């Protein structure tokens, strides 16, 4: 079992230690539960996959990227705005988590369809690998094959922050038409970098599991079930996109 004497930490910004520590302790029968969080996570996944079918079907029918641009871009910006609101106002998670999942579904559906047209079968492979990785990690976590120690947390936190800075620098350089091949190229080094980023994303899933368990242990209020489900969804979306990108590079090789 995780050491409950350690502060609750996560690299996922939606599941930071301060979020749970700043919550009032719920009364008996009104606290966050593991089963409740699982149920809500399942609901958000269903909403995401359901809304993803809309831009997917549009693009598959016409092969015109313009047909999915509006829902895809709208989903990206809508999801970002809702994610920021939920991150700072966790008590709004019960009301905004489902709209967030819907926005992410629109974004992912469009992105996946574009990749699918270029690399047939890649979307289902990415979905299968994402759920496979999550299932394997959940098994490893519950059986304590993977133990979330302070050293483990520190390594994943540092790696995640490094990836974030790398992405930010790449975005800034792209504004000056400077291409960083490690992200967009198909060289062996580029594939290795994508694989490393995917591994870090997967390890964040483990920290999300630990964060949820910690929230239950400290008696967080029930609305944190929605917040925790939202945080897990954020991590799974990141993992899926990294797997999709990695598979596309391997296909091009």
Residue 178 φ then ψ, to 5°: -105, 115
**Residue 132 domain-assigned (yes or no):** yes
Q: Band of the pLDDT at 6, cuts 50, 70, 90? A: very low
pLDDT the model gives residue 192:
92
pLDDT the model gives residue 253:
74
Report percent pLDDT > 90 for the chain: 64
**Residue 4 domain-assigned (yes or no):** no
Domain holding 248, by residue range, is: 14-252
Query: For 204-219, how does the pLDDT look when each residue is reduced to its tens digit (9 = 90+)?
Result: 999 999 989 988 988 8
**Residue 221 domain-assigned (yes or no):** yes
Query: For 149-176, how does the pLDDT look when each residue is reduced to its tens digit (9 = 90+)?
Result: 889 989 998 999 999 998 888 888 877 7
Residue 81 in contact with residue 73, Cβ under 8 Å?
A: no
Query: For 216-239, how does the pLDDT look when each residue is reduced to its tens digit (9 = 90+)?
Result: 988 889 999 999 999 999 999 999
**Residue 243 domain-assigned (yes or no):** yes
pLDDT the model gives residue 219:
86
**Residue 180 domain-assigned (yes or no):** yes
**Is 24's pLDDT higher than 60?**
no
**Is 12's pLDDT higher than 90?**
no
**Residue 53 domain-assigned (yes or no):** yes
**Residue 100 domain-assigned (yes or no):** yes
pLDDT the model gives residue 5:
36
Helix (H) / strand (E) containing 22: none
Q: What is the mean pLDDT of residues 115-128?
A: 93
The average confidence (pLDDT) of the chain is 87
Q: How many domains, in total, are found in the chain? A: 1
**Residue 7 domain-assigned (yes or no):** no
pLDDT the model gives residue 173:
80
Look at the block and give the residue holding tokens 């831009």. 55
Three-class DSSP category at 221:
strand
Query: Residue 121, by phi and psi: left (phi above 0), alpha (psi -120 to 50) or beta?
Result: left
* Rounded-to-integer distance, Cα 193 and Cα 181, Å: 11
């Amino acid at each position: 079992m995780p050491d409950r004497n350690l502060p609750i930490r996560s690299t996922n910004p939606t599941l930071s230690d301060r979020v749970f520590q700043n919550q009032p302790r719920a009364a008996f029968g009104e606290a966050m539960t593991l089963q409740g969080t699982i149920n809500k996570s399942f609901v958000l996944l269903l909403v995401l996959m359901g809304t993803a079918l809309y831009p997917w079907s549009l693009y598959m029918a016409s092969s015109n990227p313009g047909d999915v641009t509006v829902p895809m871009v709208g989903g990206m910006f809508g999801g970002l705005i809702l994610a920021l609101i939920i991150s700072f106002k966790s008590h709004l998670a019960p009301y905004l988590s489902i709209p967030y999942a819907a926005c992410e579904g629109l974004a992912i559906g469009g992105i996946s369809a574009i990749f699918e047209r270029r690399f047939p079968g890649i979307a289902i492979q990415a979905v299968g690998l994402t759920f496979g990785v999550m299932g394997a990690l959940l098994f490893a976590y519950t059986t304590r094959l993977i133990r979330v120690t302070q050293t483990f947390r520190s390594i994943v936190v540092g790696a995640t922050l490094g990836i974030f800075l790398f992405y930010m620098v790449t975005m800034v350089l792209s504004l000056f038409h400077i291409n960083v091949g490690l992200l967009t190229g198909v060289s062996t080094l580029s594939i290795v970098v994508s694989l490393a980023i995917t591994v870090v994303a997967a390890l964040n899933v483990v920290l999300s599991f630990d964060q949820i368990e910690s929230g239950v242990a400290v008696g967080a209020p029930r609305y944190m079930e929605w917040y925790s489900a939202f945080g897990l969804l954020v991590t799974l979306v990141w993992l899926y996109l990294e797997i999709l990108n990695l598979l596309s590079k391997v296909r091009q090789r």
